[in-house]
Amino acid sequence: MSFQKLDELGRRLDALDHALSILGADEATHMAVGGGEARAEAMATLAGMAHRQATAPEIDDWIEAASQEALNEDQTAALREFRRRHLNLTCLPAEFVERQTRTRMRCEQLWRDLRARNDWANFQPALESVVDMVREEAHLRADALGLDPYDALMEQFDPGNRVAEIGPVLEDLKTFLVDFVPKALAVQEERLAKRPLKALSGSYPIEKQRELGLAMMAAVGFDVTHGSLAVSHHPFCGGVPTDVRITTRYRTTEFLSSLMGVLHETGHALYEQGLPREWSHWPLGKARGMSMHESQSLFVEKQIGRNPAFWQWALPVVERHLGEDWSMDDILPHVHRVERGLIRVDADEVTYPLHVILRFELEQDLIAGRLQVVDLPEAWDAKMQAYLGLSTIDTPADGPMQDVHWPSAFFGYFPSYTLGAMIAAQQWAAITRENPMVEQGFAEGRFDAVNDWRREKIWLQGSRWSTPELIERATGEPLNAEHFRRHLEARYGE
């Protein structure tokens, strides 16, 4: 049977993906600096091997023949995803995949060193090489998929996303936020005038923060027998569903940024751990795009981790690990702190979307050739001043060097963050309609209700539905940005 051949191919490709994922996670966390060049070569070779197997000429015949076979419902859905993946993979020659893997890995390795030194001059040539290759990739994909180049890149991270559809949504959100941020700051100042912010102690040993992070991960549902927590330059969730690798970074002067990072990455991990195991080697068994993935991580970070009910349970846990005794009135102003800042991963949920929209706009210009890498610091600074009133012109480490995404050739990914925030707010609205007492569970350290809902509606669906279909089936309505606006206004407005 031809479908059986596709099934066997899926197992081989899944094994190669497993190896690449673990090598990548290790490279970012434990690999010695001197191992970078050899690791890049090894991963490029494996990536080329996987690409050649996934694009072998006979696969077209297998897909066509399988479409004539008597398949069950799961197999029919799997065949559709096999076909979609095959089309996207055959856009790129194996030689290009190997070359791009080497280029992006070396750039990422340089980024780790040069960002710490604020060294844009030496980073710029490496990023230019990545951008040149991403432009080439965008045109190869666009020709094969019949899409505009930037749409073709977004398709790899979130099938179905198009600038024509999400661009106006993000533009409307930007207009709302540029007006709302000053209002939220004014509300915050009024509250702080009545009760000044209690300073945190400023002494939080890394090992104590790590223990707190592990306790929180386990409490919200992370399976510690199938995952781990480590340190990296940039927080991420990697590995594979049976061995999920979460990372964070620590500051000994405060603990909330690391804890929120851990909760965010745990949201990603819960999605991976909750995917259908029986389909794990099929494209059907993978997560449905990055906006849905980000909705799961942001749900844990924002809808759970910044919910006052969560902190009724969490405060004693924090006290046990960090030794400080706070009241709700002491901690919530820190948890809900709104502040114009330079760093996206440290941003609050009010200003965060403006960081994403800035990148979304810049990378469209980069891919189209309207903007060159050499001009990025000035272009970034102009938008940062317009949206958040801050300047990065003298600190590119806080500007176009701050994220790992561009060195890693992840162009087209950023919109998923804010779309994910919208989806998370919509999922929360649906959950609270169905279960009005869900916050009482948070106060008691119980998160089974929200996890059960997401497991049934999102995780176990894999890639059976398109993102728009999955949103509507789960929440009962198409994507509705009003839920996100109402969430921000309720938490941070008057």
Distance CA 104, CA 108 (A): 6
Per-residue pLDDT band for 135 (boundaries 50, 70, 90) equals very high
User: 3-state SS of the chain: helix, strand, coil percent to 5?
Assistant: 70, 5, 25
pLDDT the model gives residue 216: 97
384 half-sphere exposure, CB direction, 13 A CA radius: 21
Distance CA 249, CA 235 (A): 6
Cα–chain-centroid distance for residue 443? 27
SS3 395: coil
| Mean predicted confidence (pLDDT) in 483-491 | 96
- The answer to the question of residue 363 being in a domain is yes
90 lies in the same domain as 175: no
Distance CA 438, CA 446 (A): 9
Write the DSSP symbol of residue 73. Answer: H
Name the amino acid, one letter, at 458. I
Range of the domain at 51: 2-153
87 lies in the same domain as 207: no
On the question of pLDDT at 345 being above 90, the answer is no
β-bridge partners, 247: 230
On the question of pLDDT at 325 being above 80, the answer is yes
Residue with tokens 């981790």: 305
Distance CA 297, CA 301 (A): 6
Name the amino acid, one letter, at 373. V
31 lies in the same domain as 121: yes
- The answer to the question of residue 204 being in a domain is yes
Distance CA 470, CA 486 (A): 22
74 lies in the same domain as 206: no
Q: pLDDT by residue (tens digit) across 405-441?
A: 999 999 999 999 999 999 999 999 999 999 999 999 9
Residue with tokens 């969490």: 314
- The answer to the question of residue 205 being in a domain is yes
On the question of pLDDT at 201 being above 80, the answer is no
Per-residue pLDDT band for 183 (boundaries 50, 70, 90) equals very high
139 lies in the same domain as 174: no
139 lies in the same domain as 180: no
171 lies in the same domain as 198: yes
**Adjacency order of strands within the sheet including 227-231:** 227-231, 243-248, 237-240
Distance CA 103, CA 322 (A): 42
Last residue in a domain, options 134, 153, 172: 153
77 lies in the same domain as 190: no
CATH code of the domain containing 282: 1.10.1370.30
On the question of pLDDT at 50 being above 90, the answer is yes
Distance CA 258, CA 116 (A): 18
143 lies in the same domain as 206: no
pLDDT the model gives residue 100: 93
Q: pLDDT by residue (tens digit) across 444-478?
A: 999 999 999 999 999 999 999 988 899 999 999 99
- Output the CA–CA distances (angstroms, integers) from residue 233 to 13, 55, 111, 255, 353, in the order listed: 29, 34, 10, 16, 22
On the question of pLDDT at 113 being above 80, the answer is yes
Contacts of 258 (CB under 8 A, 6+ apart): 209, 213, 248, 249, 250, 251
Distance CA 449, CA 435 (A): 8
Last residue in a domain, options 153, 184, 217: 153
| Mean predicted confidence (pLDDT) in 328-339 | 95
Distance CA 30, CA 33 (A): 9
- The answer to the question of residue 355 being in a domain is yes
133 lies in the same domain as 185: no
Return phi, psi of residue 436, to 5°. -60, -15
Tokens at 199, concatenated: 């300073």
Distance CA 345, CA 410 (A): 16
**85-99, 105-119, 384-398: segment of lowest average pLDDT:** 85-99
- The answer to the question of residue 94 being in a domain is yes
* Contact present, 468 and 479 (Cβ < 8 Å): yes
Distance CA 445, CA 435 (A): 16
pLDDT the model gives residue 346: 84
Q: Tell whether the torsion through CA atoms of 437, 443, 445 and 447 is positive or negative.
A: positive
* Contact present, 406 and 128 (Cβ < 8 Å): no
Tokens at 130, concatenated: 């990545």
Q: pLDDT by residue (tens digit) across 364-388?
A: 999 999 999 999 999 999 999 999 9
β-bridge partners, 237: 246
Q: Give strand ranges (E) for 139-283.
A: 227-231, 237-240, 243-248
- The answer to the question of residue 158 being in a domain is no
**24-33, 115-124, 138-147, 374-383: segment of lowest average pLDDT:** 24-33
Straight-line distance from the first to the last Cα atom of the chain, in angstroms, rounded to the nearest whole number = 63
Q: Is 469 a catalytic residue?
A: no
Last residue in a domain, options 153, 184, 204: 153
Per-residue pLDDT band for 107 (boundaries 50, 70, 90) equals very high
- Output the CA–CA distances (angstroms, integers) from residue 433 to 59, 156, 438, in the order listed: 46, 33, 10
pLDDT the model gives residue 202: 77
| Mean predicted confidence (pLDDT) in 139-161 | 94
Per-residue pLDDT band for 234 (boundaries 50, 70, 90) equals confident
β-bridge partners, 254: 251
Please count the structural domains in the chain. 2
Q: What percent of the chain has pLDDT over 70?
A: 100
pLDDT the model gives residue 159: 85
- Output the CA–CA distances (angstroms, integers) from residue 243 to 29, 227, 228, 240, in the order listed: 15, 5, 8, 5
Q: Which of 27, 98, 108, 265 is catalytic?
A: 265
Length of the chain: 494
98 lies in the same domain as 245: no
124 lies in the same domain as 224: no
